[in-house]
Structures are given as C-alpha cells and as structure tokens.
Structure 1
Amino acid sequence: MLNRVIQLFPLWALLLSTVAYYSPELFTPYKSAIIPVLTVIMLSMGLTLTLSDFNKVMQTPKAIALGVLLQYLVMPLVALTIVYTFNLDDDLSLGVILVGCVAGGTASNVMCFLAKGDVALSITMTAISTLLGVLVTPFLISLYAQQLVDIPTQAMILNLLKIVLAPVLIGLLLNTFLQKQVAKIQAILPLVSMTAIVFIIAVIVALNHAHIASVGPVILCAVILHNGIGLLSGYWAARWCGFQEVVCRTIAFEVGLQNSGLAVALAMKFFSPAAAIAGTVFSIWHNISGSILASIWSKHALPAKPSSTPAQDQVN
C-alpha cells in the first residue's frame, strides 16, 4: 500500500498543482516553509546513507566528472540552440540561457532518492557543480549571452551548507550511531520526501500562478524541450560510457534538473522580470517531469550487480 502511494507521486503532484493554480491563496502563506521542508527532505535522505556510500562515490571519479561535465556542457549549448530555434526575444533568451548556465539543483537529489538512484553520488555532484558554478556560471553567461553578472558566491555556498550538506550530514551521523532506531523509520522516509516535494511544488505553482497564466506556449515548449534533452543526454551518455543503471539514473537527474531558483534570482537582480519567466516555468516543470520519471524508475528494480564486468572496471 505504501509503495503504491509513492508510485502515484506524479498524480499527487499534478492534482495539488492544479489546486494551487486555481486557489493560490491556500498555499501562498507557506512561502517561508519551502526551505525548512526542503531541509526535512535532505535529512530524510541522510538517514538512508552510510559512510560507505560516500566512500564508494569517491572511488568512482569518472561518474562525478561525467555528471559535472555534462551539466556545464550540454545544458548551456541546448539553451543556446533553443533560443535560436524558437527565435525568442532578448528577455526570454536571457532567461533560458541563465537556466542552462547554473548548477544542478537540490531537486535532482530528491528525485534521485525517489527513483532509487545513487543519492550519495547525486549529492556529491550537486555540491561540486555548485562550487564550480561560482566561476563557471558567470563565464558561461558572458560567453553565451554576452552579459557579465556577479554571482552571489557567499550566498550560494551558505545555501549549499544549510539546505543540503548540513541536514544530510546530520542524517548520516544519526544513521551511523543510532542505526537500530533509524531502521525503524526508514520504510516511511520515501513517503515523507514525496509528501514534502509535492507540497513544495504546490507552493511554487501558487506563488507563480500569474506568470504561468501569462506565458505563451512557446516558452513552455522551450522549457520542456530543455529539461527533456538534459534528462535524456545525461542518461544515455552515462549508458554509452558503460556505467551501471543506478549511475545512469543519477546523472540523468543531475543534468536535467537545474538550480532554476538561482536563475530566477539572477534574472531579477541583473536583468528584468521577463527574464525570470523561463526560470520560473522551469522550476515548476522540472519538478513535475522529475517526479514522473522518478515514479516510473521506482517501479523498475535495478539490475543485479555482476561480480565483475568491463563497465564496472571502467567505473572503478
């Protein structure tokens, strides 16, 4: 019964998003709850991890390198291609490029967890891409959009520490030193995470319902295409490189789900509200598409790991 409820994740997300769109007043008062709820999700992830999970990740540097490389290679290039293909105006073009040039978002960690991916690998890639983004994001925006922006370095690092690393570390320590007690609640942790992310999606929809109503089908198609290509390229590039299914799923989410909140913040600070539309729509859509994909993958058991394969040798 519990697994069935979790597997219907996309349905709950779409239902609550619809309610939030038509009755935003039910959710807008909870804007300040987004960060605490996200922290609870990251804590839940940490409670499922052990030190050996991160030790294994450190033994697979090729997977980390591939995920981060695709993040900053595929998404900006796809953004630029979309801008020219759809012939977007300057503001919308800037918004799409901003989304393509930022790091992976924490949504990738949540969806990876629900899809039975490698959560430790996902968190590691998000942390590294975020730290690299301090230098890489301004360079890419300058290169592709011909605009110079100052990235809020300190704020990014503090957010990474507070929202992602600290709660995951606390959960990891609790699972290490109170393993028996934590084991009793681990079965419900995916349900907790699912409920929390559905709530967050609804609040985001409610806060941006005016923008959603005003955007045309062109920007919506552009965002869906951008996100979809990111997910597909992440998965199939990892498959082509011979990585195991669990790694392929993880890299797919890392590449396809962006830190769109940062893209919105940069657009509002340095450009215009119109430039923030792409990031706003992406923030909503990538949670919905990610939840659908996570639900599909959660229904399919991961292949049993062979004792030794060429692909494993390549990863190790």
Structure 2
Amino acid sequence: MTSRPSRDTIGDGHPPIPGAILTRLFPLWALLAGLIGFIAPETLSDWRAAVMPLLGVVMFGMGATLRPADFLAIARRPALIGLGLCLQFGLMPLIGWSLAQALALPPELLVGMVLVGAAPGGTASNVICYLARGDVALSISLTAASTLLAVVLTPWLTWVYADAWVTVPVGEMLKSIALVVLLPVIAGVVVNRFAGRRLGQVRSWMPGVSVLAILVIIAIVVALNAGRLATVGLGLVVAVMLHNGLGLTLGYWGARAFGQDAVRARTLAIEVGMQNSGLAAALALKSFPAAAALPGALFSVWHNLSGAMLAAWWSRRTPTNVPSPARP
C-alpha cells in the first residue's frame, strides 16, 4: 500500500497547504460570492474587464506550486499520463455537449458546458486527491500536462462541439489562453524554481490568493447573469451536477478498465471530474455571451462540494493498491 503524504505537504517536496481550510470550505465561500453577485449586480457587472487578469493571478498561483520536475515526471509515466489525458479531454467535452443536447439547453449554455468539459484539470484537484488518499504526484503531473495541452485543445474541442450552435473564435481563444494561462504558469514555475526558498511563506499562500480570485470571478459572472438566473434554473443545475458526476464515475471506472489500481483510479477520477472551471468561465466572458459563463461558475461551486464529499468518503477507506498486469 502506498503511504499517504504527510499532512504538511501535497506530495514529494511540494509546499504546504496553509489554505486547506479555505479550500475545504470553498463551496461555502463560492455560494456567498454568488449571493453577493446576485444582490449587487450593478456594482459587480462593471468589473467584467477584471476577469481575465484575475484568471492570470490564478494561473500564476498554480505555476508557483509547480517545479520543472513535475513536467519531467510526465516523461517517466507517459502511458499513465496519456490515459488520464485521453479520459479527460475525450470524455468531458462529449459529456457536456450530450447533456446540453439532452436537456435542450440554449446555445450559449451549450457552449458553456462544452468549455467546462474542454478545460484542463483545476488546482483544487490536487488538494482533493491528497485528501482522498490518491497519488498526489500523478495528480500534479496530470494538471500540468492538461494545462499545457489546453492551449490548443480547449479552443479546438470547443470549435468541434459548439461551432454549429455558436460561432467559436478559435484564434481569439488561443491568444487568450496563451496570455492568461501559459505565460502566467511559466512565470510561476520560474519564480518557484529560482526564488522559491526565499519566497517560501509567500508562495505557500498563493493557493489562497487563487481561491480568492476565483471567488471574485464567480461573483462577477453571477452579477452579469443575475437577470436570467431564474429562467435558467433547474435544467442547468442538473446538467452541471451530472457533468461532474459522470466525469468522476467514468474517470474511475475507465482507469480500472485499463488495469489501474484503486489509488491511481481515484486520482484519474478526480482529475477527469474536476475541471478548471474558472478558466471556462473567464473564456466564456471573453469570447461569448455572458450566459455562457454560467456553467463554469456553477461547476466551480459544485465540483468542489462533490470533490470534498468524495474525498471524505475515500479517506476512510484504505485502497487496495494491487496493480493489474494489464496496466499501461
């Protein structure tokens, strides 16, 4: 059985999680942020231009928790990383599109569902994986790999699934992701590599700063859509919950079908089911009608809640870490 990471780190040599309490209570803070956006739409609607810079802060914070070794680790387990990426980018956009079709969601919500599905893994998945007694090193490597691939795959997959309903500005999305995802992540990695020890205390609080930035994004998205939330209602909530639930379920059993043990299956389930929904919401506001950002905002709330509940359940169950001969 693989030993669990110590309580003060999220993997081999990674910084502590001083924002663990903040992260665990994220669904509550996200609900409060949404409520603020709903009751003060006139004020927060004017903050729309701040969404992309805030996302840059989130991605810099993610990069500041990564090391070059996390990217090199991808080369050491290419088949396993490839399986996780195929499950994530293969399943989640398709599930989002299928649910939007089945529930007859309007085009702007369909593109929002696809965007959530085509987004890379979120940094919250690393903490949830730690709490669920998964393979944290694998989770970090998958998040890093999916973030890099998202520069191309997120615009392309959005175009594949949603262009028939909403014009998808692929070039604009590529530019946006490069500016607010790739460059901040690289900058964060560089800072971590060359100044990480000197900035240890500051760096350790970056996840908390990222959480606060996501909360502001959620409040802005809700404010921009306050007038139509009542009409969207139950259908979108059901779609978001099913999207996340199917991603977690199919991620787990997809991993098991390819011979992965329970620890790695838990990890892949979390990476597949938990998306960088803040990125999806920000891209939606940048390139589509404001309503397209609603699935990302709701997903941000729900996937942290479901992930926390799943982690609590798994943390009480010791996984049987016996790999199958068919494991890639």
* TM-score normalised by structure 1 residue count: 0.76
Distance 1:95 1:149, change over 3 A: closer
CA distance in 2, matches of 1:246, 1:6: 18
Distance 1:158 1:71, change over 3 A: same
Residue aligning to 1:291: 304
Residue deviations 1:65-88 (CA, integer Å, cap 9, x gap): 3344334543454356535644x2
Residue identity in the other structure for 1:24: P
Report the Cα offset of residue 40 of structure 1: 1.2
- Secondary structure of 2:199's partner? helix
Report the Cα offset of residue 232 of structure 1: 3.1
Cα contact 2:60–2:187 (8 A) shared by 1: yes
Residue aligning to 2:143: 122
Distance 1:312 1:160, change over 3 A: farther
Of 39, 44, 47, the match for 2:56: 39
CA distance in 2, matches of 1:207, 1:260: 12
Report the Cα offset of residue 49 of structure 1: 1.0
How do 1:161-310 residues align onto structure 2 when only pairs under 5 Å count? 161-241=178-258, 242=260, 244=264, 245-254=266-275, 259=280, 262=283, 268=289, 277=291, 279-296=292-309, 310=323
Residue aligning to 1:112: 125
Distance 1:151 1:166, change over 3 A: same
CA distance in 2, matches of 1:281, 1:204: 7
Alignment partner of 1:49 is 2:62:
no
CA distance in 1, matches of 2:125, 2:325: 21
Residue aligning to 2:9: none
Residue identity in the other structure for 1:259: A
Distance 1:134 1:19, change over 3 A: closer
Residue deviations 1:170-197 (CA, integer Å, cap 9, x gap): 1111111113113222332222122221
Report the Cα offset of residue 214 of structure 1: 2.3
Report the Cα offset of residue 240 of structure 1: 4.3
Residue deviations 1:252-288 (CA, integer Å, cap 9, x gap): 22499983555677765xxxxxxx74x3331221111
CA distance in 2, matches of 1:73, 1:256: 17
Gaps of 5+ in 2: 1-17, 131-135
CA distance in 2, matches of 1:62, 1:256: 26
Report the Cα offset of residue 208 of structure 1: 1.2
Report the Cα offset of residue 226 of structure 1: 2.9
CA distance in 2, matches of 1:310, 1:280: 40
Residue identity in the other structure for 2:193: T
- Secondary structure of 1:185's partner? helix
> Which 10-residue stretch deviates more, 24-33 or 155-164?
24-33
Distance 1:105 1:79, change over 3 A: closer
- Secondary structure of 1:229's partner? helix
- Secondary structure of 2:123's partner? helix
CA distance in 2, matches of 1:255, 1:240: 25
Cα contact 2:23–2:211 (8 A) shared by 1: yes
Report the Cα offset of residue 198 of structure 1: 1.4
Using the aligned pairs only, state the percent identity.
Answer: 26
Distance 1:95 1:49, change over 3 A: same
RMSD: 3.7
Distance 1:43 1:76, change over 3 A: closer
Gaps of 5+ in 1: 269-275
- Secondary structure of 1:314's partner? coil
- Secondary structure of 1:48's partner? coil
More helix as a share of residues: 1
Query: How many residues of Structure 1 are paired with residues of Structure 2 in the alignment?
Result: 297
CA distance in 1, matches of 2:28, 2:242: 21
Report the Cα offset of residue 35 of structure 1: 1.4
CA distance in 1, matches of 2:28, 2:227: 23
Alignment partner of 1:152 is 2:187:
no
* TM-score normalised by structure 2 residue count: 0.73
Distance 1:4 1:100, change over 3 A: closer
